[in-house]
Amino acid sequence: MTDKLLTARTKLGRLPDRGRHDRETIHRILDEAFLCHVGFSVDGQPFVIPTGYGRKGETLYIHGSAASRMLRNLQKGTPACFTVTLVDGLVLARSAFHHSMNYRSVVVLGTATLVENSAEKVEALRAISEQIIAGRWDEVRHPTEQELKATSVLRLDLSGASAKIRTGPPKDDEEDYSLPIWAGVLPLVMTPGMPLVDPGMKFDAELPASVKNYSRSR
């Protein structure tokens, strides 16, 4: 298995120097995020739906209600575009034109397939849960047979993946560097707040390890 995923389809057309096609970079970005947007088209109408996901090896999993329009159409072989973005900072230039963001993103092109094997389905749901909050799956009740029947899980292969990354300071026009305007990068970091106890709790329970140790750094 090659470590590069560069193909004619995944090669970046604009700013190709920001492109990354190695599995390590793509995996690292996917593992730090937990929210994706899935793009697809039905009868000429484009849709972009936000949803959670999980990665296991070279496979991405998404799930939802068995009645979901997105999942019902994707499992028919409708081409999909799966995207993930991590914003690391606001790039503040001297000119409005050159403002930007530092970011890491992944785009995966392909067709999804329905997971029908029950063991793989449970493992996929575990991967999605662990993607969102590591350790939580082992702290909670697992899905019942009825809940599994009401849930569809799709898999998408990472062979159509590419990453795009921007880092560093602003890139102003040469003549603008002499302007007396502050320029630089404002870093952005996701920080969890204080956990809020469900008011429906019927007894005192210790804060679980998954919450205590929550971090997006993987």
pLDDT at 108: 97
- pLDDT in the model for residue 1: 47
CA 148, 149, 150, 152 dihedral sign is: positive
Reported as a single tens digit per residue, the pLDDT across 9-44 is: 555 555 567 677 899 999 999 999 999 999 999 999
Q: How many CB atoms lie within 10 A of CB 13?
A: 6
Neighbouring CB atoms inside 10 A of 9's CB total: 10
Contact 133, 210 (CB under 8 A): yes
The DSSP call for residue 141 is: P
Spans of the chain, pLDDT less than 70? 1-16, 18, 218
Inter-residue contact 30 to 106 (CB < 8 Å): yes
Per the CB < 8 A criterion, the answer to whether 143 and 123 are in contact is: no
Residue 26 contacts residue 106 (beta carbons within 8 Å): yes
DSSP alpha helix (H) spans, 6-113: 23-32, 69-74
Establish how many alpha carbons lie within 13 A of residue 90's alpha carbon, considering only the half-sphere containing its beta carbon: 6
Assigned token pair, 122: 């449970």
The contacts of residue 111 (CB under 8 Å, 6+ apart) are 74, 77, 78, 79, 80, 156
Q: Indicate yes or no: pTM above 0.75.
A: yes
Tell me, what's the pLDDT at 75? 95
What is the CATH code for 16-168? 2.30.110.10
pLDDT of res. 4: 61
- pLDDT at 105 (0 to 100): 97
How is the chain split into domains, by residue range? 16-168
Q: For residue 69, what are its two tokens?
A: 């329009």
∠99-105-110 over CA atoms, to 5°? 135
What does the pLDDT read at residue 21? 81
Cα(127)–Cα(124) distance, integer angstroms? 5
Give burial (CB, 10 Å; 0-12/13-18/19+) of 23.
Answer: middle
